[in-house]
Amino acid sequence: MAGANFWDHQEAAQETIGKMKLSKSVTEPIDLALGVYEEILTLVELGEEMGPEEIEQDLVDSVNRFAAMVDKLEFQVMLGGENDHCDAYLTIQSGAGGNDAADFTEMLRRMYLRWIEKRNFGVEEIEITSGEEGLRHATYLVKGPHAYGWLKAERGVHRLVRISPYDSQNRRHTSFAAVEVQPDFGADAPIEVDMNEVRVDTYRAGGAGGQHVNKTDSAVRMTHDPSGIVVQCQNERSQHKNRAQAIRMLTARLYEMRERERDADTKAMYGSKGEIAWGSQIRSYVLHPYQMVKDHRTTHETGNTQAVLDGDLDAFVEEYLRSKASR
């Protein structure tokens, strides 16, 4: 990074910076914990010389800090899966529930963007499809240390229960949305896509994006015929860049499909019928008749629904990863 020509190739430079951040996310907490450990040893030596009452409170504080650091390091080990270090594709899709489901999808999008911001992760919008109300479908590339390791805990069907703002009789409605998460392998993809099996369509991007985006067929949609997987990208001005991004997304989806057969949690994502509806939810957000967010995989819950919808997700993610590690 200190080289004079480091920024001559922007994409390679950004990739290097990402690797540095990943490495620091692993080593810095260890270095900090070791520093506190050395502080404890020094306090113990002082206590032997000056008497324990002179250093008691400082020692208690240091031990408590060290214990909290060790707890975080133990959790960090749970982010040691094969692809946990990768960036992640986050897709949110509306399910059963009509306008309420589309509005719920928009609520989830806001929730995840708030969480991403709190963790100081980077994010790129890949594609977004709005509905008459709310959001039908959106995909983002989330960039940060162990982004996939964190976000994979959110994969599954989410359920909302509330008084519908779209019901003139103010009745309670239940709606659903699905969250999909795949690792972004970059140039190190573990599988190769046979482009002879892929149908490629180009189209004009909709929504915001500037005159060039909206007036040229720069958006790309790819359909993998054997599996039926469809991916699309419209965030770049260049069709060539959108095509390259779509291939990376398709590679990630195909990899996930292969891994799903080995992962019971992922296999059950949509339940036996493959529907984004009843019987397959991983988490419920209840806003009426009481306030509660509950994860059905771990039974972790909170009554502070607004905090969760504002991106306070770490407790849910940590509980899930701990439960997975204990199996």
Query: Do 97 and 231 belong together in one domain?
Result: yes
Pair of tokens at residue 50: 């000056």
Pair of tokens at residue 290: 């009481």
- Please report whether residue 262 resides in a domain: yes
Strands 122-130, 135-143: pairing is antiparallel
- Please report whether residue 97 resides in a domain: yes
In this prediction the pTM is 0.79
The domain in which residue 279 lies consists of: 87-325
Helices of type H across 229-284:
239-260, 264-267
Which residues contact residue 73 at a Cβ distance below 8 angstroms, ignoring those fewer than 6 apart?
A: 29, 30, 33
Q: Quick one: what percent of the chain has pLDDT higher than 90?
A: 63
By mean pLDDT, which of 133-137, 157-161, 301-305 is the weakest?
Answer: 133-137
- Please report whether residue 82 resides in a domain: no
- Bridge partners, residue 174, by sequence: 161
Strands 229-233, 156-163: pairing is unpaired
Query: Do 195 and 126 belong together in one domain?
Result: yes
pLDDT per position as a tens digit, 123-142:
999 999 998 889 999 999 99
Predicted confidence (pLDDT) at residue 211 exceeds the cutoff of 70 = no
pLDDT per position as a tens digit, 227-247:
999 999 988 778 888 999 999
Domain count, the chain: 2
pLDDT of residue 276: 66
Q: Say if CB 91 and CB 179 are below 8 A apart.
A: yes
